[in-house]
Amino acid sequence: MKIKLTAILAATFLFAGIAGANSIKSRVGLMVGYDTVRMAELNESIGDLTMLILGQEAKPIKAMAGLGLDAGMAVSENVILGARVGVMKTQVTSVELVVPLIASAKVEASGAAVPVMGGFRYMIPIDDNMWAGFGAYAGLAKLTANMTTTSETLGVTQTSKLDYEGSAPVIEGLLCFDYRITESISLGGELGYMSMKADSIGAIKDYDFDGDGIIDVVKGEKAKNAAGEDSAMDLSGVAIALSLNYLF
């Protein structure tokens, strides 16, 4: 009887050890990501403006990259509840016109986002070191768009800048994996889709481009296309990310 009881206790502790080893852990991670973006309406507005200023249409903005922090607390063997914040910036599109020895002009435009989200992941063990699963996050993002025009005539340079901002709800669904390099360090990966769209964006302040005392763009004035319609800023798209995580 004593031997039988000892065997049962040994099996119980062995099972607990295995379960503990295969339990998902809380973590703090640094993320780097690359996203495609739609940007159709704002790209149209940027193209309309560069066509008006320089007679050329800017190439569309199609992607953005960013860094983020992700933190999660394991609430069961398979579920993590967490939060994340990111700083994301789109590619820069530009158009330049040069008249040799006389004048040049250049227009640059780009966008950025700072999303803050909360959500969950459900992970299952593939082997002792690999986990895979899915997750969903939701929150809000601050979006900004800026356009800089630089002109030079006979050595005299003038620069004007126009900045817009807005806010947007963010929803992200993702597939994810986690590979434990050591007991406390893991490498993670994600593939998902992020929805992040502001129906309109407004100027962050009053702008007087030529210094004549007359306000050319009023604070809060919406970005518009050639038809006079508000331009949405749509940063929705496929999202890919890698992360380095500290597990505890």
Proportion of the chain above pLDDT 90, given as a percent: 65
Among 20-34, 101-115, 164-178, the range with the most confident prediction by mean pLDDT is 164-178
Tell which residue, 37, 61, 58, 170, has the closest CA to residue 116.
170
Q: Please check whether residue 164 lies inside any domain of the structure.
A: yes
Strand-pairing partners, residue 124, are 132
Lowest mean pLDDT among 17-31, 34-48, 150-164, 201-215: 17-31
Q: Please check whether residue 91 lies inside any domain of the structure.
A: yes
Whether the predicted pLDDT of 169 surpasses 70: yes
Query: Could you give the number of structural domains in the chain?
Result: 1
In the chain, beta strands by DSSP E: 27-36, 63-74, 79-90, 93-99, 103-125, 130-153, 156-180, 185-198, 202-203, 233-234, 237-247
Q: What's the confidence (pLDDT) of residue 34? A: 96
**CATH code where residue 121 lies:** 2.40.160.20
Whether the predicted pLDDT of 22 surpasses 70: no
Q: What's the confidence (pLDDT) of residue 14? A: 38
Q: Please check whether residue 13 lies inside any domain of the structure.
A: no
Q: Please check whether residue 20 lies inside any domain of the structure.
A: no
Per-residue pLDDT reduced to its tens digit, 68-84: 999 999 999 999 999 99
Residues 209/160, Cβ–Cβ less than 8 Å = yes
Looking at per-residue pLDDT, the higher value among 25 and 112 belongs to: 112
Task: Name the residue range of residue 73's domain.
Answer: 25-247
Q: Please check whether residue 14 lies inside any domain of the structure.
A: no
Mean model confidence pLDDT for the chain: 88
d(CA 17, CA 78): 16
Q: Please check whether residue 69 lies inside any domain of the structure.
A: yes
Q: Please check whether residue 3 lies inside any domain of the structure.
A: no
Q: Please check whether residue 19 lies inside any domain of the structure.
A: no
d(CA 107, CA 53): 9
The radius of gyration computed from the CA coordinates of the chain, to the nearest angstrom, equals: 25
Q: What is the DSSP secondary-structure string of 51-75?
A: HHHHS-PPPPP-EEEEEEEEEEEE-
